[in-house]
């Protein structure tokens, strides 16, 4: 297999939901619930940290925020919404619960959840203090983080997104931390920021944009 085929496989793999999910239909999410996330999403979209691979037409990047509906519930962008500049209430959905071992997700909302919802769930489960998770894609940042492997937490090359292995590895990398970044070596261009506030979470990514461009 040549490199180009690998890349295409990887990108096309991006939007595939690898878990079982139950979606309880519900009306669009109300603005006050997603406004804060949306404000940050707009910034990340401008920086192309969220978007769509132009040739394959596959969206990338998803962000979430912990909610108080149930212990590890969170609001997340819907599957394949990466190409939209602005999202509305029908592009967000609520994850009520998940089971990492069984690879099950229970969601409630107007759209099926992001294909990376299980990874977000694993991060929220790692610490109750983590309130925001931003998953972005950037070839430059990814390369920078992989090259500076002493400075950044990294998941293994042979672990793909949305798998139990990814969830377990992310949790062990987080340990007791309440904010930080992770580069997903087995998920080309994939990076994660997690934090207690959206400002902290967004700044972690913006800082990496700057550092990787130096
Ligand atoms: Zn991704």
Range of the domain at 38: 3-213
Measured in angstroms, how far is the CA atom of residue 118 from the centroid of ligand 1? Answer: 12
3-state secondary structure of 47: coil
Measured in angstroms, how far is the CA atom of residue 62 from the centroid of ligand 1? Answer: 8
What's the pLDDT score for residue 161? 83
Measured in angstroms, how far is the CA atom of residue 179 from the centroid of ligand 1? Answer: 19
DSSP 174-212: HTT-SSEEEEETTSTTEEEEEESSHHHHHHHHHHHHHHH
Q: Which residue has the higher pLDDT, 174 or 4?
A: 174
DSSP 27-40: PPPPHHHHHHHHHH
CATH number of domain containing 171: 3.40.225.10
Measured in angstroms, how far is the CA atom of residue 31 from the centroid of ligand 1? Answer: 25
Measured in angstroms, how far is the CA atom of residue 26 from the centroid of ligand 1? Answer: 26
Measured in angstroms, how far is the CA atom of residue 146 from the centroid of ligand 1? Answer: 16
Q: Which helix (H) or strand (E) holds 42?
A: helix 31-46
Measured in angstroms, how far is the CA atom of residue 189 from the centroid of ligand 1? Answer: 7
**Which of 126, 127, 132, 145 lies closest to 189, judged by CA?**
145
Residues 31-84: tens digit of each pLDDT: 999 999 999 999 999 999 999 999 888 899 999 999 999 889 999 999 999 999
Measured in angstroms, how far is the CA atom of residue 116 from the centroid of ligand 1? Answer: 7
- Number of structural domains found in the chain: 1
Measured in angstroms, how far is the CA atom of residue 169 from the centroid of ligand 1? Answer: 16
Measured in angstroms, how far is the CA atom of residue 214 from the centroid of ligand 1? Answer: 24
pLDDT higher than 60, residue 148? yes
Residues 154-208: tens digit of each pLDDT: 999 999 887 889 999 999 999 999 999 999 999 999 999 999 999 999 999 999 9
> What pTM value is reported for the model?
0.92
């Amino acid at each position: 297999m040549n490199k180009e085929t690998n890349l295409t496989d990887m990108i096309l793999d991006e939007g595939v939901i690898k878990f079982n999910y139950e979606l309880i239909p519900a009306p669009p999410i109300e603005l006050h619930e997603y406004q804060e996330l949306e404000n940050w999403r707009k910034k990340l979209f401008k920086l192309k940290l969220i978007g769509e691979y132009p040739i394959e037409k596959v969206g990338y990047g998803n962000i979430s925020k912990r909610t108080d509906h149930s212990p590890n519930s969170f609001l997340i962008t819907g599957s394949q919404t990466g190409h939209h500049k602005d999202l509305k209430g029908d592009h967000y959905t609520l994850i009520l619960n998940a089971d990492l071992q069984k690879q099950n997700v229970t969601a409630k909302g107007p759209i099926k959840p992001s294909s990376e919802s299980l990874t977000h769930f694993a991060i929220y489960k790692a610490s109750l203090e983590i309130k925001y998770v931003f998953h972005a894609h950037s070839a430059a940042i990814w390369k920078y983080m992989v090259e500076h492997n002493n400075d950044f937490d990294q998941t293994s090359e042979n672990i793909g997104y949305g798998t139990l292995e990814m969830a377990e590895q992310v949790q062990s990398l987080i340990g007791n931390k309440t904010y930080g970044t992770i580069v997903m070596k087995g998920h080309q261009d994939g990076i994660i920021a997690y934090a207690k506030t959206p400002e902290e979470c967004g700044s972690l990514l913006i800082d990496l944009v700057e550092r990787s461009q130096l």
